[in-house]
Amino acid sequence: MSWTPQRFPALKYRFLIVEDSLLIAMDLEEAIARSGHEVIGIAPDVKVALNYAKEADIAFVDVRLADGETGPELARHLVERGLLVIFVTGNPMLVEGRDAGALGVIAKPLTHQAAADVIQFAVDWRNGRQRNPPARLKLFRPPSPVA
């Protein structure tokens, strides 16, 4: 009987999209599915997002939601619950000084490639593989130096 190495499946992460524009949310949802991960919900506001939070690993959060400019406060709650948060917003300056523990911010609109890049970056970071961010992603905390 010969031994063959087992192949372990790649980790599949659960994403929460917090976005009040359904078209933008659906584009992100498609990009996440193409990346082999799962979207557990699309939330237009804080209340819906918090209902999904316990099931998610990573969240993409807009700043301006259906209930106002509540994204930064929501991000703080999500980070406290252990989610990795990246802001996806049309105006990245709105989160300056209000990053709430989020990893970074990327400006909308996202091309298919930019979406794929930020998804992979978030997954890598969640797996402990810190690297330089994609060109359009501004990190709030730098990657740790590689030993």
**146 in any annotated domain:** no
The CATH number of residue 30's host domain is: 3.40.50.2300
**144 in any annotated domain:** no
pLDDT tens digits along 74-99: 999 999 999 999 999 999 998 988 88
User: What sign for the dihedral angle of Cα 140, 124, 87, 54?
Assistant: negative
Span of 25-29, 40-44, 47-51, 94-98 with lowest mean pLDDT: 94-98
Tokens 């060109």 belong to residue: 135
Quickly count helices (H) and strands (E) in the chain. Answer: 4, 6
Q: Which parts of 4-128 fold into alpha helices (H)?
A: 22-34, 46-53, 71-80, 112-126
Count of structural domains within the chain: 1
